[in-house]
A and B are shown apart, each in its own frame.
Chain A
């Protein structure tokens, strides 16, 4: 007997909202990536809880894939950030307006 499923949904929802806030409101490329990580983590939490509720292993399998996606996303994202930083010398997303005229 742990807790009602709805409490886990609430926790994951709050975590996801924090991730969205971090991705939208921070003025830094690295913090935007971190926001995406928080969102992925919240989604994984719901998957594991759902696997426990319906007693199906598929939920846990999907969390494994979410881990892999997160690792791939972070490696490519950080490589892009380093590349962009070396070109412009800034991590502020508002300085990337090279296509604006």
Chain B
């Protein structure tokens, strides 16, 4: 086992434990913090797989922007700790059986595919190479994605404005 394999297994364990804790905590803030740990692990995995720019972006966008946005919303709203759903056995049984079948088939597919046993070699993509490739071959997709982000911004603004207008009407009604 090389040092890279050891790093991978340690990171995988940390990610799985942190995500498992995150999805079972009752307190939302605790789950967000565990999820940040999980995303840091993912960022290090990206670095291990030779994508340093994506590792930085994972920390900036996922662990930074998105999780802080979640934290803001949780602080804004009065969120009571929520329990897990307690469905009946009749609801769990079909989902569990189908999920187990999928897991068995996936393990079979992954283990019998001869190509999946190839051991990955380390490589590194420099940010300069990555950026040049991105803007030479996929500049149209970048423009489309930027347009999508603009639409998301406008949508979020509209949703905020729509409520402000409605509550203003209600206040006038009450007055």
- Residues in A lying within 8 Å of B, measured CB to CB: 1-11, 13-15, 17-19, 21-22, 24-28, 30-31, 33-35, 37-38, 41, 44-45, 48-49, 51-53, 55, 57, 60-61, 63-65, 67-76, 78-83, 85-87, 91-92
Contact = CB atoms under 8 A, between A and B. Distances in A.
14 contacts: A1-B122, A2-B119, A4-B117, A5-B116, A26-B84, A30-B74, A31-B28, A33-B70, A34-B31, A41-B62, A60-B51, A70-B61, A70-B66, A82-B76
Nearest to B12: A11
B66 A38 contact: no
Contacts of A67: 57-58, 61-62
A14 B16 CA distance: 8
A51 B46 CA distance: 11
Contacts of B120: 1-5, 8, 49, 52-53
Contacts of A2: 2, 4-5, 8, 48-49, 119-122
Contacts of B32: 34
Given A71-B61, A85-B77, A91-B77, A78 B69 contact: yes
A18 B23 contact: yes
B33 interface: no
Interface of B: 2, 4-5, 8-9, 12, 15-16, 19-20, 22-23, 28, 31-32, 35, 38-39, 42, 45-46, 48-51, 53-54, 57-58, 61-62, 65-66, 69-70, 73-74, 76-77, 79, 82-85, 87, 95, 99, 103, 106-107, 110-111, 113, 115-123, 125, 129-130, 133-134, 137-138, 141, 145, 148-149, 151-153, 155-156, 159-160, 162-163, 167
B85 A37 contact: no
A6 B117 contact: yes
